[in-house]
Amino acid sequence: DAGVTQSPTHLIKTRGQQVTLRCSPKSGHDTVSWYQQALGQGPQFIFQYYEEEERQRGNFPDRFSGHQFPNYSSELNVNALLLGDSALYLCASSSTGTSGRQYFGPGTRLTVT
């Protein structure tokens, strides 16, 4: 039973570019959440997807957008990259009604130069 997978593992982009990160949830999970973790900080909630719709959103600008597909996998898109977007991006999946427990993927390390 595969856990949460994310791709790519590492990514280097230039300021102003756009990036797409991908996540496949754990088998049986229908909800995907995305987090940004800056170095030395805790993960910050970006948004959550359920039934292909954004269900909740944290305090992130519209440059951050996402999508969920019918198979529950998800993408995180960031436009007009800034140096401050450099971080570890974590995807977590859960099953609706399981009251909070989330399973995390290994993350994508994004470096913006």
Partner 1 sequence: SQQGEEDPQALSIQEGENATMNCSYKTSINNLQWYRQNSGRGLVHLILIRSNEREKHSGRLRVTLDTSKKSSSLLITASRAADTASYFCATDFKGNRDDKIIFGKGTRLHILP
Question: Which parts of this chain interact with partner 1 (CB under 8 A)?
Answer: 4, 31, 33, 35, 37, 39-45, 48, 50, 55-56, 58, 88, 90, 92, 94, 96, 98-107, 109
User: Nearest approach, Cβ of 109 to partner 1 (angstroms)?
Assistant: 7
Q: Would you state the structure tokens that stand for residue 104, as one six-digit string?
A: 């995390």
* Residue type present at position 36: Q
State which residue, 79 or 95, has the beta carbon closest to partner 1.
95
The residue among 72, 80, 74, 69 whose CA lies nearest residue 35 is: 74
User: Nearest approach, Cβ of 61 to partner 1 (angstroms)?
Assistant: 17
State which residue, 30 or 75, has the beta carbon closest to partner 1.
30
User: Nearest approach, Cβ of 80 to partner 1 (angstroms)?
Assistant: 25
Q: For residues 36 and 23, what is the distance between their CA atoms, to the nearest angstrom?
A: 14
Peptide bond into 8 cis (omega under 30): yes
